[in-house]
């Protein structure tokens, strides 16, 4: 997944993150660069039925990083 999306997913400069951050988020978490989340997804593959996905999202909702690893 990360290889296929590498052209679409870019890490934003901190200046851009701060400029586009929602005001409610900026008031509480002014130094935040990204929100990190990891989840498991059930998939149909012969060698694994689960995949873990790690995602980093900017406060404005822009996906800046994504990687998938099979378990």
Q: Which two tokens stand for residue 47?
A: 């060698």
Residue 70 CB-half CA count within 13 A? 7
d(CA 53, CA 37): 8
Residue 23: its H or E element: helix 23-28
pLDDT at 11: 84
d(CA 21, CA 1): 27
pLDDT at 15: 92
**pLDDT tens digits, the chain, 71 residues: what are they?**
556 666 667 788 999 999 999 988 888 998 888 888 887 777 666 565 666 888 899 999 888 888 877 55
């Amino acid at each position: 997944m990360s290889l296929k999306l590498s052209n679409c997913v870019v890490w934003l400069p901190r200046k851009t993150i701060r400029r586009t951050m929602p005001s409610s988020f900026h008031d509480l978490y002014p130094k935040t660069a990204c929100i990190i989340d990891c989840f498991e997804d059930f998939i149909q593959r012969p060698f694994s039925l689960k995949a873990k996905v790690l995602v980093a999202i900017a406060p404005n909702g822009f996906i800046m990083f994504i990687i998938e690893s099979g378990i």
